Amino acid sequence: MADYEIIKPKVDLRKKIKILPNSSGFDPVAKAEEAMERLSLNFGNWMRDEVMKLQISWEKAEKTGLTEESVDKLFRSCHDIKGQAHTMGFPLAGLIAGSMCELIERIPDPEKLPESLLRKHVQAIAAVVNENAREEDNVVGKQLAEQLSTITEDYIEKHAPADPSENES
């Protein structure tokens, strides 16, 4: 008996494609890649805009203190960066933002969040983007991301609630 089964679709999707006149040689994947190439010219600016939003959220949090509202805004900003950074060519910024997200998620009490560590994450994300450190093997950026991740993991290990239900917020 075979290790696989061939499933024949009931509908031939090729019949659903609209063939345009004079479209011989049309390659939709190539067209999509061309569109991404044109859009990528704006990725640096878009990423800097996201960093600016994060910095504004951080400045407000410093003024008002770490409250549920200010931490929620910080989380949303760094989560956006975490999600967009790789696509926009800033994987190191995404790693750092991921570390910051993890810290906020695992330490649900705003009063127990270490302001200095949050500040370092914000500064590191800004530095990576402002210095255009796009390659994952950027020595300084990679060391920065790894050190922040290690410090964050240590802090979480020591200060996260033991009961997982305490993390629900």
Tally of domains in the chain: 1
Within-domain flag for 118? yes
Within-domain flag for 4? no
- The token pair that represents 9 in the structure block: 């679709």
Whether 161 contacts 167, CB under 8 Å = yes
At 38 the pLDDT is: 78
Contacts of 120 (CB under 8 A, 6+ apart): 148
Within-domain flag for 145? yes
**Radius of gyration (C-alpha) of the chain in whole angstroms:** 22
Task: Kindly give the parts of the chain with pLDDT less than 70.
Answer: 1-2, 13-25, 40, 163-169
CATH number at residue 107: 1.20.120
Within-domain flag for 151? yes
At 154 the pLDDT is: 98
Within-domain flag for 74? yes
- The token pair that represents 38 in the structure block: 């044109």
Query: Which 8-state DSSP code applies to residue 4?
Result: -
> How large is the angle between the packed helices 68-84 and 43-64, nearest 10 degrees?
160
How does pLDDT run across 87-106, given as a tens digit for each residue?
Answer: 899 999 999 999 999 999 99
- As a 3-state breakdown, the chain gives helix, strand, coil percent values, each rounded to 5, of 70, 0, 30
Within-domain flag for 144? yes
At 163 the pLDDT is: 67
